[in-house]
Amino acid sequence: MDPLLLVLFGIVFVYVSASNSTILLQNKLIKKSRTEDAAPMNGKQFRFMWCLYAIMAIGFYILLVKMSIF
């Protein structure tokens, strides 16, 4: 398979897993806030976490490009 396609599939996988884990964490905190007296994750925190995961994905892409696998 073409290395460029491998890189693109890797980036898509990282974005999907980042979104999934962020959404799962938000749901877990919402459930916890109902049972305990804790604050749920608000939209600002959710966007911040998603941005961190996006930065990790961009770092992954840059790392693969710097390895000059093309």
**pLDDT over 60 (residue 34):** yes
- Count of domains forming the chain: 1
Residue 70's pLDDT is 53
Helical spans, DSSP H, in 1-70: 3-35, 43-66
Give all strands (DSSP E) within the chain, no chain letters.
none
**Do 18 and 50 form a contact (C-beta atoms < 8 A)?**
yes
Q: Is the pTM of this model over 0.75?
A: no
pLDDT score for 54: 78
The residue range of the domain holding 39 is 3-66
Q: Look at the block and give the residue holding tokens 């999934």.
A: 20
Reading phi first (left if > 0) and then psi (alpha if -120 to 50, else beta), residue 68 is in left
